[in-house]
């Protein structure tokens, strides 16, 4: 039985009421190999989205220059954020399809029609379920679950009048997603959904900033708490600050909130990660482009929201500079952040901070990068992978030495990075990124 759960009132908190409706999304039934292998199961690798794969040991600074294309998977449109699980690459494309490819054989296991949205189209995998953004009806958004083995639709969760869903985050047996609305300003919520059934467990509102057409960022989950960007509402709203909010992952109860930037217009876009007892957020200190602002990285105590450090990456800025995405956290506490420098060659656009928040290095990189990085290896001896454009060899994937920010490799495939560039998954000795405009390329050490 396929269930569509629709939440009727965005402003009710801790509501678990859902309505079951019949639905059907077609899939092809094919068998998947049973052998397990390293994976990249959701955006940022884990539920805290730290961007660091601690299981990857094959790719190192000393061999990264030998990476070469070891396989190409072609779609009919731009490739969106893939996930890797049990030897299968799950790939969405703007050709309105979802593909499952066997990485050992290169063969297509199954594919289904799955229209993309004008917004995030992320995926997450757990318990043989693939959860992804989807269209649940006319002008309605939601998340859908499919069998990883067959592509069969299992359940659909939608918000009545929900305008934009974040990519899903899975922690344990629960899916967490941020939902945004146009009808009521800041009437936005975080929802917890049962991974097995698609039933709503709780909802917290109004929170989770609406980030233009791209929708809110995926919530980060760590140590039993959900962290996300939030916008302070009006009278009676439990959220008064614009910045970071934390709610209990089991109940949806507000734990703490923290203002990012000035109270006259803080930054609640949710560019944050949570790992090892600390929340890290990249943000603009003022919600404007002509008033003079800085771009900072702040570290907060996960339990209390107390500030550990706040480091400006830039001097006073005007014009539209912004963080490329959430920070990336290395195993020794080093934090990496990228900046859209608005084609200003004099403005550093890649940064590394020490565990205490002091600047370790900053560089102005060419080629330019369009998404957050992925880190493999030790912080001081690791490699940062980016989606890039303008690379010397005409490729769409680049690597930096994590110790100093120097470019150490870029792919040689043609084409341009897609409009929806993502942090490349790196797992099992392979780097995955879009290439040739419509393909997923796999790079391995030679």
pLDDT tens profile 30-61: 222 333 457 999 999 999 999 999 899 899 99
Write out the E strands in 75-205.
83-85, 88-93, 97-102, 108-113, 123-126, 129-137, 140-147, 153-159, 164-165, 169-171, 174-180, 189-194, 200-205
pLDDT over 50 at 211, yes or no? no
The vertex-373 CA angle with 295 and 241, nearest 5°, equals: 40
Q: Tell me what the mean pLDDT of segment 364-374 comes to.
A: 83
Specify which residues 431 forms β-bridges with: 426, 443
pLDDT at residue 182 in the model = 53
Band (376; pLDDT cuts 50, 70, 90): very high
Band (25; pLDDT cuts 50, 70, 90): very low
Residue tagged 């760590």 (tokens):
222
Count of CB atoms situated within 10 Å of the CB of 379: 23
Residue 247 · residue 241 · CB < 8 Å: no
Query: Which of 9-18, 173-182, 245-254, 268-277 has the lowest average pLDDT?
Result: 9-18
pLDDT at residue 183 in the model = 43
- Across the chain, mean pLDDT equals 84
Bigger pLDDT: 147 vs 118: 147
pLDDT at residue 315 in the model = 92
Give the tens place of pLDDT for each residue, 424-444. 999 999 999 988 878 999 999
Give percent of the chain with pLDDT exceeding 70: 82
CATH number, domain containing residue 383: 2.130.10.10
pLDDT over 80 at 446, yes or no? yes
Q: Tell me what the mean pLDDT of segment 67-72 comes to.
A: 94
Bigger pLDDT: 166 vs 22: 166
Give the tens place of pLDDT for each residue, 248-270. 999 999 999 999 998 877 888 88
- The closest of 64, 40, 63 to 52, measured between CA atoms, is 40
Report the distance separating Cα 224 and Cα 227, nearest Å: 10
Name the residue range of residue 369's domain.
3-445
Supply the DSSP symbol for 327: -
pLDDT over 50 at 158, yes or no? yes
3-class state of residue 215 by DSSP: coil
Torsions phi, psi of 60, nearest 5?
-140, 165
Torsions phi, psi of 65, nearest 5?
-70, -15
Band (99; pLDDT cuts 50, 70, 90): very high
Evaluated on CA atoms 282, 357, 288, 190, the torsion sign reads: positive
- The closest of 150, 153, 109 to 135, measured between CA atoms, is 153
Long-range contacts of 125-128 (CB under 8 A, 24+ apart): 125/39, 125/41, 125/42, 125/83, 125/85, 125/90, 125/170, 126/41, 126/170, 126/173, 126/195, 127/173, 127/195, 127/196
Give the tens place of pLDDT for each residue, 272-297. 999 999 999 999 998 776 678 999 99
Query: Which of 5-19, 104-118, 123-137, 274-288 has the lowest average pLDDT?
Result: 5-19
pLDDT at residue 391 in the model = 67
pLDDT over 50 at 16, yes or no? no
Band (70; pLDDT cuts 50, 70, 90): very high
Distances in whole angstroms, Cα of residue 315 to Cα of each of 288, 311, 312: 15, 11, 7
Give percent of the chain with pLDDT exceeding 90: 57
Q: Tell me what the mean pLDDT of segment 105-129 comes to.
A: 92
pLDDT over 60 at 445, yes or no? yes
pLDDT at residue 81 in the model = 87
pTM over 0.75: yes
pLDDT at residue 417 in the model = 52
Bigger pLDDT: 185 vs 179: 179
Q: Tell me what the mean pLDDT of segment 381-397 comes to.
A: 82
If one counts the domains in the chain, the total is 1
């Amino acid at each position: 039985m396929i269930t569509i759960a629709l939440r009727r009132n965005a402003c009710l908190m801790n509501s678990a009421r859902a309505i079951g409706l019949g639905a059907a999304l077609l899939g092809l039934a094919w068998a998947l190999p049973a052998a397990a292998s390293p994976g990249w199961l959701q955006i940022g690798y884990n539920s805290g989205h730290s961007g660091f794969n601690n299981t990857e040991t094959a790719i190192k600074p000393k061999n990264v220059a030998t990476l070469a294309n070891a396989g190409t998977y072609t779609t009919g449109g731009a490739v969106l954020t893939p996930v890797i699980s049990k030897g299968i690459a799950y790939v969405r494309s703007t050709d309105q399809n979802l593909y499952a490819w066997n990485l050992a054989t290169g063969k297509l296991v199954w594919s289904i029609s799955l229209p993309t949205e004008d917004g995030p189209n992320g995926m997450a995998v757990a318990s043989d379920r693939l959860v992804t953004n989807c269209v649940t009806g006319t002008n309605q958004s939601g998340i859908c679950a499919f069998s990883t083995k067959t592509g069969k639709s299992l359940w659909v969760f939608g918000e009545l009048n929900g305008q934009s869903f974040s990519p899903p985050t899975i922690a344990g047996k629960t899916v967490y997603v941020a939902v945004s609305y146009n009808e009521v300003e800041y009437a936005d919520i975080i929802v917890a959904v049962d991974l097995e059934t698609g039933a709503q467990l709780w909802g917290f509102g109004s929170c989770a900033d609406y980030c233009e057409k791209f929708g809110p960022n995926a919530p980060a989950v760590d140590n039993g708490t959900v962290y996300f960007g939030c916008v302070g509402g009006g009278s009676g709203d439990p959220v008064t600050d614009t910045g970071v909010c934390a709610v209990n992952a089991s109940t949806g109860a507000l734990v703490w909130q923290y203002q990012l930037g000035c109270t006259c217009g803080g930054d609640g876009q949710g560019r944050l990660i949570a790992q090892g007892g600390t929340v890290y957020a990249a943000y603009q200190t003022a919600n404007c482009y002509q008033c003079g602002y800085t771009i900072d990285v702040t570290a907060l105590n996960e339990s209390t929201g107390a500030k550990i450090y706040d480091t400006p990456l830039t001097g006073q800025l005007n014009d539209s500079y912004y963080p490329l995405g959430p920070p990336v956290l290395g195993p020794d506490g080093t934090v990496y952040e990228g900046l859209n420098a608005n084609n200003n060659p004099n403005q550093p656009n890649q940064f590394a901070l020490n565990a205490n928040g002091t600047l370790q290095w900053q560089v102005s990189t060419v080629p330019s990068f369009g998404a957050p990085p992925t880190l493999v290896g030790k912080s001081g001896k690791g490699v940062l992978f980016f989606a890039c454009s303008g690379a010397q060899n005409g490729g769409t994937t680049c690597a930096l030495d994590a110790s100093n920010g120097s470019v150490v490799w870029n792919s040689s495939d043609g084409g341009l990075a897609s409009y929806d560039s993502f942090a490349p998954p790196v797992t099992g000795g392979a780097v995955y990124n879009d290439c040739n405009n419509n393909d997923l390329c796999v790079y391995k050490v030679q």
